[in-house]
């Protein structure tokens, strides 16, 4: 069986912030790909602003590096399970994986999720223990953790014989020894392990074409672009080919453009053959999982599995009293157009019409998936409102089931009791407890996804900011009875329009936590804080102090108020109750009641209690 020895196709996987993207940058710098003058920006693979800010990879990206006359195609995969749909499809395109693990933190839940997918596809792993130069590095224990994880994930004997490279990607050094003194100023051990361990693709380019689309891209000039691997045969510009659709139908089209990958660039090419990773344009409605074959030899590959959404929210046109003040795009037509455009490339997203022309049900893979979509919209100039996230309940074999998440918590031991108690109240079940030394403990839970909505805020206060939490979708299990994940505190709701004053905020501070600063414009029905108790109360934050001409002895020397709590988008979404919306504009994130008027709210509450 002939193989294309000049090519290797690998995916790189790691937990958030373990240095995966930095490692890819370093491989690019040290390969024969980039010219010396072509300086590489730090984290060059993360092209999206949000990716750079949060240090996470959202979109799978590919790059190709040249090393000793070999083309190494590297696919950078998202670490977070919310983008798991991409991970599974990437694994189909490659012949091996590089697993990057932090030399101190070790294996993490997101690593587990992606690695499981890789092992199921029988891919060979290479382990890079990164950040070996950290004072707290514990490389031997981390390698043991990787072995334990692989055994737990049913790795076969070949997969357990993985090579280990110890590296400091940020310094551009690596070595086969776990002694930090042995680090060398080169990434050669990584390159050599790839060439030695990862199988070259089979060369069956003389057989009929099979090209499968694994990822989608879109640009205004050529429309949809299908990215994938040529599994068999050859494809040329100008070829007339057949596209086998997901529903079993076929369509004929002509290949107008082919792109190959070189460094971070996408370059036009005339021809590709078995083993190449390429992008193809020329057909409007190509979709992930569809196969391109010759018209006289239609032989589609098995359809790729796409992860179903687990969480949904309602997106609405902004109808608050401040609607239209800060955004550029505010109409239902513009919002719908933008959501439809998102569907062109995001295959795990669903957008459905509702009874109202101004509202849509948007379903995604989790809170992160949806909040990043909302964040992108506001940065592009959109104004909209969103409702509380809700989990999607599915019927499996006649049983109602809900999504469960695997939760990993690292916390100082002194806060362990309150974390366990809080998660147990949210119907979480503890699976494991490991004392990791230095007074730290690691807790593993299986918890319903709805129980985790709003948990982040509680968790940070329970652990005084010292706790670290990671959670990832695990499986659908039978629906647990009763409610969970409901907000335990009420809201402070403005009963007036106007600007918040220092005087009124001072008078309200003992009632709860304030979200607004003096001078902030407020409207009736806007949420200005969290109540200390479980009920909502209407408050006046716009009241001015009565001015009299009587001077007190200490007069108002200093009105010192506590700093308000500024809510991020994620915190705002987690805070929401069923009768509230989050108003999102390019400049502001506001929380509000669905019914703004206090009397009308009370009437509606009475009606719902009767029913």
**What percent of the chain is predicted at pLDDT more than 90?**
42
Q: How far apart are the first and last CA of the chain?
A: 72
Q: What is the predicted pLDDT for the residue at 61?
A: 59
Pairwise CA distance, residues 476 & 590, whole Å = 33
Highest mean pLDDT: which range of 80-84, 346-350, 509-513: 509-513
Judged by DSSP in three states, 275 sits in: coil
For the chain, the C-alpha Rg in angstroms (whole number) is 27
Annotated binding site for GTP: 17-22, 130-133
Q: What is the predicted pLDDT for the residue at 51?
A: 45
Closest of 90, 92, 125 to residue 107, by C-alpha:
125
pLDDT tens digits along 374-403 = 999 999 999 999 999 999 999 999 999 999
Residue 217 has pLDDT above 60, yes or no: yes
Residue 111 has pLDDT above 80, yes or no: no
Q: Confidence band (pLDDT; 50, 70, 90) for 57?
A: very low
Q: Compute the half-sphere exposure of residue 443: CA atoms within 13 Å on the CB side of its CA.
A: 24
**352 - beta bridge partners?**
361
Pairwise CA distance, residues 89 & 108, whole Å = 21
Residues 359 and 548 sit within 8 Å (Cβ to Cβ): no
Chain centroid offset of residue 78 CA: 7
Pairwise CA distance, residues 581 & 573, whole Å = 9
Domain covering 394-478: architecture: 2-Layer Sandwich (3.30)
Q: What is the predicted pLDDT for the residue at 465?
A: 76
Residue 40 has pLDDT above 70, yes or no: no
Q: Confidence band (pLDDT; 50, 70, 90) for 78?
A: low
Using alpha carbons only, give the angle 373, 89, 286 rounded to the nearest 5 degrees: 75
Using alpha carbons only, give the angle 402, 404, 406 rounded to the nearest 5 degrees: 175
Closest of 189, 104, 190 to residue 139, by C-alpha:
104
pLDDT tens digits along 68-77 = 888 999 887 7
* Range list of β-strands (E), 161-296: 164-168, 173-175, 210-219, 223-232, 234-236, 240-244, 250-254, 257-262, 265-269, 271-273, 277-281, 291-294
What sign has the CA pseudo-torsion 13, 14, 18, 21?
positive
If one compares 351 and 64, the residue with the highest pLDDT of the two is 351
Residue 457 has pLDDT above 80, yes or no: no
Longest dimension (CA), the chain: 99
For the segment 89-116, the average pLDDT, to the nearest whole number, is 83
Closest of 30, 17, 159 to residue 96, by C-alpha:
159
**What dihedral do alpha carbons 246, 251, 255, 259 form, nearest 10°?**
-10
Annotated binding site: 17-22, 130-133
**What percent of the chain is predicted at pLDDT more than 70?**
90
Distances from the Cα of 124 to the Cα of 158, 174, 435, 446, angstroms: 8, 20, 31, 29
Q: Confidence band (pLDDT; 50, 70, 90) for 104?
A: confident
If one compares 228 and 117, the residue with the highest pLDDT of the two is 228
**Domain 491-546+561-576+591-610, CATH:** 2.40.50.250
Q: Confidence band (pLDDT; 50, 70, 90) for 125?
A: very high
Residue-range domain boundaries for the chain: 7-197, 210-294, 394-478, 491-546+561-576+591-610
Spatial CB neighbours of 500, under 8 Å, sequence gap ≥ 6 = 516, 517, 518, 519, 520, 522, 528, 541, 542
**345 - beta bridge partners?**
none
For the segment 593-609, the average pLDDT, to the nearest whole number, is 91
Number of C-beta neighbours around residue 352 at 10 A? 9
Mean pLDDT, the chain, rounded, equals 85
Residue 48 has pLDDT above 70, yes or no: no
Closest of 452, 436, 580, 564 to residue 508, by C-alpha:
564
CATH fold match for the domains 210-294 and 394-478: no
Residues 492 and 514 sit within 8 Å (Cβ to Cβ): yes
Q: What is the predicted pLDDT for the residue at 166?
A: 92
For 133-153, b/e burial (b = at least 16 CB within 10 A) is: eeeebbbeebbebbeebbeee
Edge-to-edge, what's the strand order for the sheet holding 537-539?
512-514, 527-531, 491-494, 537-539
Q: Confidence band (pLDDT; 50, 70, 90) for 550?
A: low
Using alpha carbons only, give the angle 459, 532, 574 rounded to the nearest 5 degrees: 40
Residue with tokens 């989608």: 216
Residues 506 and 561 sit within 8 Å (Cβ to Cβ): yes
Helix residue spans in 153-187 (DSSP H): 157-160
For the segment 157-171, the average pLDDT, to the nearest whole number, is 89
Closest of 386, 310, 306 to residue 348, by C-alpha:
306
**Domain 210-294, CATH:** 2.40.30.10
**Domain 7-197, CATH:** 3.40.50.300
Distances from the Cα of 91 to the Cα of 28, 74, 117, 429, 454, angstroms: 21, 11, 7, 31, 33
Distances from the Cα of 125 to the Cα of 11, 15, 222, angstroms: 10, 15, 36
Q: What is the predicted pLDDT for the residue at 16?
A: 66
Residue 304 has pLDDT above 80, yes or no: no
Spatial CB neighbours of 604, under 8 Å, sequence gap ≥ 6 = 595
Judged by DSSP in three states, 287 sits in: coil
Judged by DSSP in three states, 199 sits in: coil
pLDDT tens digits along 428-449 = 999 999 887 778 899 999 999 9
Q: What is the predicted pLDDT for the residue at 64?
A: 84
Tokens representing 585 are 């504009």
Q: What is the predicted pLDDT for the residue at 34?
A: 52
Closest of 451, 410, 404 to residue 432, by C-alpha:
410
Residues 479 and 421 sit within 8 Å (Cβ to Cβ): no
Range of lowest pLDDT (19-28, 348-357, 365-374, 542-551): 542-551
If one compares 176 and 62, the residue with the highest pLDDT of the two is 176
For the segment 416-431, the average pLDDT, to the nearest whole number, is 93
- Strands 7-14, 70-76: pairing is parallel
pLDDT tens digits along 221-273 = 777 788 899 999 999 998 889 989 888 888 888 888 898 888 777 788 999 99
For the segment 31-43, the average pLDDT, to the nearest whole number, is 50
Spatial CB neighbours of 6, under 8 Å, sequence gap ≥ 6 = 69, 70, 71, 200
Q: What is the predicted pLDDT for the residue at 58?
A: 39
Q: Confidence band (pLDDT; 50, 70, 90) for 476?
A: very high
pLDDT tens digits along 274-301 = 999 998 887 777 888 889 999 888 898 8
């Amino acid at each position: 069986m002939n193989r294309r020895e000049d090519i290797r196709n690998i995916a790189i996987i790691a937990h958030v912030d373990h240095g995966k993207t930095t490692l890819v940058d370093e491989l690019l710098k040290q390969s024969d790909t980039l010219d010396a003058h072509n300086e590489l920006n730090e984290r060059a693979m993360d092209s999206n602003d949000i990716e750079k800010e949060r240090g996470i990879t959202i979109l799978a990206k590919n790059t190709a590096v040249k090393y000793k006359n070999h083309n190494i195609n590297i696919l950078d995969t998202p670490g977070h399970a919310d983008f798991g749909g991409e991970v599974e499809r990437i694994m189909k395109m490659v012949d091996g994986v590089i697993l990057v693990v932090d030399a101190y933190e070790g294996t993490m839940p997101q690593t587990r999720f992606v690695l499981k997918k890789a092992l199921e596809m029988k891919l060979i792993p290479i382990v890079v223990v990164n950040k070996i130069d950290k004072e707290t590095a514990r490389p031997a224990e981390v390698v043991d953790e990787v072995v334990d994880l692989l055994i737990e994930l049913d790795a076969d004997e070949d997969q357990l014989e993985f090579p280990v490279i110890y590296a400091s990607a940020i310094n551009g050094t690596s070595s086969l020894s776990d002694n930090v003194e042995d680090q060398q100023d080169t990434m050669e051990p990584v390159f050599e392990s790839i060439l030695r361990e990862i199988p070259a693709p089979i060369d069956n380019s003389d057989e009929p074409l099979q090209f499968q689309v694994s990822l989608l891209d879109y640009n205004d000039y050529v429309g949809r672009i299908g990215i994938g691997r040529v599994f068999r045969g050859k494809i040329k510009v100008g070829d007339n080919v057949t596209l086998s659709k997901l529903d079993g139908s076929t369509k004929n089209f002509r290949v107008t453009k082919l792109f190959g990958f070189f460094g971070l660039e996408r370059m036009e090419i005339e021809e590709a053959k078995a083993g190449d990773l390429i992008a193809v344009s020329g057909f409007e409605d190509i979709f992930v999982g569809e196969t391109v074959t010759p018209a006289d030899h239609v032989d589609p590959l098995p359809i790729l599995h796409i992860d179903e959404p687990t969480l949904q929210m309602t997106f609405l046109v902004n109808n608050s009293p401040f609607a239209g003040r800060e955004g550029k795009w505010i109409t239902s037509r513009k919002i719908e157009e933008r959501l439809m455009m998102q569907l062109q490339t995001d295959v795990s997203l669903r957008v459905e019409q509702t009874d109202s022309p101004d509202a849509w049900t948007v379903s995604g893979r989790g809170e992160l998936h949806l909040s990043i979509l909302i964040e992108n919209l506001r940065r592009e100039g959109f104004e909209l409102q969103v409702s509380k996230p809700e989990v999607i309940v599915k019927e499996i074999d006649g049983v109602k089931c809900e999504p469960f998440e695997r939760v990993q918590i690292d916390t100082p031991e002194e806060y362990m009791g309150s974390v366990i108690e809080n998660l147990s109240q949210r119907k979480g079940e503890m699976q494991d407890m490991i004392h990791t030394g230095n007074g730290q403990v690691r807790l593993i839970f299986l918890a319903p996804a709805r129980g985790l909505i709003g948990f982040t805020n509680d968790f940070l206060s329970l652990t005084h900011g010292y706790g670290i939490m990671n959670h990832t979708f695990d499986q659908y299990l039978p629906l647990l009875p009763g409610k969970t994940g409901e907000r335990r505190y009420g809201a402070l709701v403005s009963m007036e329009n106007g600007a918040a004053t220092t005087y009124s905020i001072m008078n309200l501070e003992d009632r709860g936590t304030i979200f607004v600063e003096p001078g902030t414009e407020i409207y009736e029905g806007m949420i200005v804080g969290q109540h200390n108790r479980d009920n909502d109360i209407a408050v006046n934050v716009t009241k001015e102090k009565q001015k009299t001409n009587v001077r007190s002895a200490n007069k108002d020397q200093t009105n010192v108020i506590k700093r308000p709590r500024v809510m991020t988008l994620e915190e705002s979404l987690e805070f929401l109750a069923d009768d509230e919306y989050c108003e999102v504009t390019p400049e502001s994130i506001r929380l509000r009641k669905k019914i703004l008027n206090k009397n009308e709210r009370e009437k509606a509450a009475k009606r719902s209690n009767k029913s």
